[in-house]
Amino acid sequence: MKKVRVKYLEFMWPLRHFLITCGDKAQPNIIAVSFCMPLSKKDPFVACAIGKKMYSYELIEKTKEFIINVPPASLKPKVYYCGYHSGREVDKFRETGLTPKPGHKVSAPFIEECVAHMECKVKQEIDVGEKTLFIAEIIDAYADEDIAENKRELKYSLGKFPRKNA
Ligand SMILES: Cc1cc2nc3c(=O)[nH]c(=O)nc-3n(C[C@H](O)[C@H](O)[C@H](O)COP(=O)(O)O)c2cc1C
């Protein structure tokens, strides 16, 4: 019988790390997120949990838009920088040297050095304690050519949805 009570999160790793960009050209920001997942293979919805005290939360509340950027493994130190510093105190684009490029359909910029981007519009918000769960629709998604054409593999991802009999 399984009797030992455990901290549940330890059993749900590994989680992917993403960089969410939010705000607009005048006031852009980057936040590292792990509590972020697709909700269906068919319908383009994602769920991302963002702390209510975060500067990014404030910006997303204002615009109801954000971009999920997929960092390659080489950006790990910059992902951690964005996860340990607040945009209230520092300009994370300037400090990391990451390049903001105008989003195609949302006000937030995307990060040039990331390999794929999902532009999202918030559809619903759910209170989950210290965080708000943003349910968002992906209205545009694009990637570097060599990733999109499967010529280069993301080190930490098979990049494919698992098959039934795989
Ligand atoms: C790897 C990693 C994953 C993180 N995942 C989340 C997350 O899913 N949601 C969240 O609210 N904060 C997450 N954080 C913490 C925020 O990135 C961090 O508090 C950040 O400084 C907030 O920045 P902001 O105030 O500019 O929005 C994560 C941090 C790291 C390092």
pTM assigned to the model: 0.93
Point out the ligand 1 atom lying closest to the alpha carbon of residue 83.
17
Q: Give the pLDDT of residue 158.
A: 47
Burial class (CB in 10 A: 0-12, 13-18, 19+), 135: middle
Where in the chain are the domains? 15-148
Kindly give the confidence (pLDDT) of every residue in the chain, 166 residues in length, as a single tens digit, with 9 standing for 90 and above. Answer: 777 788 888 888 888 899 999 999 999 999 999 999 999 989 999 999 999 999 999 999 999 999 999 999 899 999 999 999 999 999 999 999 999 999 999 999 999 999 999 999 999 999 999 999 999 999 999 999 887 777 666 655 544 555 555 4
- Its CATH class, for the domain covering 15-148, is mainly beta
Residue whose Cα lies nearest atom 17 of ligand 1: it is 83
> Among 13, 16, 19, 33, which is best to mutate for testing ligand 1, by the most ligand atoms less than 8 A from CB?
33
Asked if 20 and 68 count as a contact pair (C-beta separation under 8 A), the reply is: yes
DSSP tag of 75: G
Q: Give the pLDDT of residue 163.
A: 55
**Residue 2, token pair as written in the block:** 């399984």
